[in-house]
Structure formats: C-alpha cells, structure tokens
Amino acid sequence: MAEWMIGVLGGSGLYAIDDLEDAEWRGIDTPWGAPSDQILTGSIAGKRFAFLPRHGRGHPISPTDLNYRANIDALKRIGCTDLLALSAVGSLREELAPGRFVVADQFIDHTRHRAGSFFGAGLVAHVSLADPVCPRLSSLAAAAATRAGAEVSEGGTYIAIEGPQFSSRAESHMYRAWGADIIGMTAMPEAKLAREAELPYALIGMVTDYDCWREGEAHVEVSEVLRVMHDNAGKARRTIVELAQLLPATRDPSPIDTCLDHAIVTAPERRDPALVAKLDAIAGRVLRKP
C-alpha cells in the first residue's frame, strides 16, 4: 500500500485549483519536450494532488498542438499514482443534457495528427486498452461529482476528434451511429499514454452543449459553450475537494500499476538505448530489470 497522488488534467475553463494547501507551481522537464504548463502541487484533506492545465493557463494551446507525451511524462515524473481528466464535451444523446457530468468508460480515437505512443522503432510495446479507464478511480470520481452537486451519468463512450473545428451534421450523426455518447478533442491519445505509463486513468466529461445532430438545433456556438463551461468549472473544483475526502487513507495496488510487465516485445539486446533513456519515468520500472 502507498500514498495517493492524484494528477488532475484540467480541460477548457479549468486552469487552477483554489483549494490546494501549500500550493506551488513547479516546472518539470521531460525528454519529450515541454508540458502544457507548470504543474500546481499541493494537498487537500491530507491527499496529494498535482494539477496540470491541459491547454495551459489562458488556453494558448489547441487540441492538436498539445504535447500529450510530455504532459503524461511530467505527471508520472512528479510522482502521480493516478490521473483524473476533466474535459469539456458535447453530447450525442438526448438524455445527456448540458451541465451533466459523464464518467466515460470507453473511447473511440478519431484523431489523425498526434503521436499516440511512447514506444516505437527500437522499443516496441503493446498494452491492452480493452478497458481503458480505471474502475476504482472512475467510481470514486462519480461519487465525488455527485457530492459536488452535479448530475452524473456513469459509463459512456467518448469519441475524440481532431478538431479544432466542431463536427459537421453528417459527422455528428455518424458518431451517434458508431455508439458514441459524448464528443471531445483531447482524451486521445491521453488515455492511451496514461495506460502505457501505468497510470490508472478516469475521465469526467462535462457536457457543455448538444452536438449538431439534433433536428432544428442551432450549430455549436463558442459563446454558449463558454457559458456552460463556466458553470461546470465550479462543480469540477468541488468534485476534486470531494474526491480528496473519499479517497481511502492508503492506496491499494491496481493491476494497471504493472501493465507493462508483459507488454514489451523487443529483446533487451535489440532495444534502442536512446529510447530506453527517454522512457526512464514511463517504463523505468520494467526496463531496469535484469
């Protein structure tokens, strides 16, 4: 058993956590380049947190231009044990109205221009994403959001699109036919990289609007999205406080903590030393084994 350190990836409209005690912004260097911003560390109710504004403070970075690998590496390197993503999303289902929080349990990756893995030529690994979120952290996050006053749906499929444009009506209908429930631009490859980093991951999608699939629905307006996003941000901050209260005193191991044990397929003598060095935080636990 060990202490928790929850890494929080704040989405659009969430750029800080005001309730952290002993709060400190810390710069973290990674072999993958610079993360989106410094990381705000501190504690709530005796539990440690590390907050990274996914788009940077003031939102200067678009979804495609995010350095997803640097963000996950920085959170792992600073000592995070688990990751909670808070993301603004559109709704693809009538029952998921603006203002509702959806704790996703599946993802569809429809992005095209992003580095999707820490591994590659010279060091190949294959992790399972059949169940891409941590059920323990997802359950705790859902309970915390409910206690924070949000209407919460547990389970749902998030489709990640490239953006930065919103969907066409034809695309929106297609995503619904694929079985997607909510739509956003940042969960992939974020969730994939978290799994490769052996970090249990959960995502709360904060619905800001109905996507443009509804008959007679006006197209998505950024001004309306921002208005609902502002309301959601307050509940998101309260959710983090409630999560700190709900976390057990000590953290039992998760199967995700060791998911790289049988994932690396490149023989030790054929591994690229430069890539091995870059993976010191992500996969050092297994790469340092004799």
Q: Which residues are catalytic?
A: 209, 211
Describe the crossing of helices 222-246 and 135-147 by its angle, rounded to 10 degrees: 110
Q: Are 42 and 24 in contact (CB under 8 A)?
A: yes
Q: Which amino acid is at 236?
A: A
Nearest to 71 by CA among 187, 160, 183, 163: 187
Q: Residue 270 and residue 212: Cα distance in Å, rounded? A: 50
Q: What φ, ψ does residue 252 adopt, rounded to 5°?
A: -70, 150
The rounded distance, in Å, linking the Cα atoms of 253 and 134 is 12
Q: Residue 246 burial (CB < 10 Å; 0-12/13-18/19+)?
A: middle
Alpha helices by DSSP H, the chain: 68-77, 135-147, 169-178, 187-196, 222-246, 273-278, 280-287
Q: Which amino acid appears at position 187 of this protein?
A: A
